[in-house]
Amino acid sequence: MLYAFSLEKKSIKIRHIDNAVIHDGLETAHIFIKKTENAVTNLALLFQQKKIPPTRLIRKYIFLEEYGLISSFEWMYKKMENNIKKNMLSASPSIALFNLWKLYLFINLLHKK
C-alpha cells in the first residue's frame, strides 16, 4: 500500500485488477491471524508516521476517536472477545467479527494499553 501511495503522489497511474485470492487451506487460521497482526502493526506505524492515506480500518478508528467512542467500543469488544476469538478459529469465521478484532488491535496499538 505504501508503494502504491508513493506512485500516486508522483502521478503515476496504477491499474487495479480484480484478482481474487483462493486460500484453499494452505495455512492454518493461527498463521493467518499472526500475519494479520503483523499487517495491522505495520499499518498502525505507518498511520502514526503519517505515511499513508486513511484505509477503511483507519477511517473507522478516526470515526470512533472523533465521536469519543473508543472506550465504548473497547467495552463492547471485551464483552464479545471470547466469542470473536472462537469464531475466528472456527470452520466458518465471520468477516465482520474479524474486522472488529482488527479494529480493536489497531486501537490497542495506538493507545498502548
pLDDT digit string (tens) for the chain, length 113 residues: 566 666 567 776 766 655 555 556 678 888 889 999 999 999 999 999 998 889 999 999 999 999 999 999 999 999 999 999 999 999 899 999 999 999 999 999 999 85
Residue 20: the pLDDT is 54
Number of domains in the chain: 1
Residue 93 lies in a domain: yes
CA distance 16 to 60: 24
Residue 23 lies in a domain: no
Helix (H) or strand (E) holding 3: helix 2-9
Query: Structural domain of residue 45, as residue ranges?
Result: 2-12+28-111
Count of C-beta atoms within a 10 Å radius of residue 9: 9
Residue 72 lies in a domain: yes
Residue 18 lies in a domain: no
